[in-house]
Amino acid sequence: DIATSICAEGKIRVKSHEGRELPYECIVDKDGRLTRNPNALYEGGAILPMGGEVGYKGFSLGLAVEVLGGILSGTGYSYSKKFLGGNGVFMEAIKVEAFMDLEEFKREVGELARAVRSSKPRPGFKSIMTPGEIEYKTRKRRLREGIHVPEKTWMEIVKVARELGVEMEKIMESNPRMP
């Protein structure tokens, strides 16, 4: 799973539901102005590609994802009238042994990860992380502490559940960690 934008749309939606600004200007409004207002995205704005304002290279990766994960999967692409919403999927399997010895590959990937982690972090940061580390740490914390769901998001879940006939009260009574 990768993101080719500077920020995940889900994080923008959470800030919108919380009524809070984004921590940095990661979207442009409908007139192309940078903004920290999360609602601007849903009013005709766009999320900046990897690289932010100078993200034309990130944009090309984003287009590749639209083609492979959107068009090829049948989901459609973001600006298409037939866009079905949700997430299309593209998976690629690589037989490492067709290119090099598997143990050598694992060793070199491990060396690369150690080299990345040993890099000096920018001022104000404690460490350098490799892809997936944040998610791994977040999963551990959420298993321990639970998952915070903004009230607006929770109310949307309850509304849809009721429309589908789900008895939310029984579920909430049986799980003391639910709001």
Share of the chain above pLDDT 90, in %: 49
DSSP string for 85-117: -S---------GGGTS-HHHHHHHHHHHHHHHH
Q: Cα(47)–Cα(8) distance, rounded to whole angstroms?
A: 8
Greatest Cα-to-Cα distance within the chain, rounded to the nearest angstrom:
56
**Cβ-proximal residues to 15 (8 Å cutoff; 6+ apart), any chain:** 21, 22, 38
| Confidence at residue 152, expressed as pLDDT on a 0 to 100 scale | 85
Predicted local distance difference test score (pLDDT) of residue 85: 67
What would the pLDDT profile of 69-79 be if each residue is shown by its tens digit?
888 988 888 77
pLDDT in tens, 136-154: 999 999 999 988 888 888 8
pLDDT of residue 40: 97
Tokens of 81: 């009238």
pTM strictly above 0.85:
no
**What is the DSSP secondary structure assignment for residue 123, as one 8-state letter?**
T
Residue ranges of domains in the chain, CATH in brackets: 1-92 (3.30.60.50), 94-145 (no CATH), 148-179 (no CATH)
| Residue matched to tokens 């997430």 | 87
> Helix, strand or coil for residue 49?
strand
15-48 residue pLDDT tens = 999 999 999 999 999 999 999 999 999 999 999 9
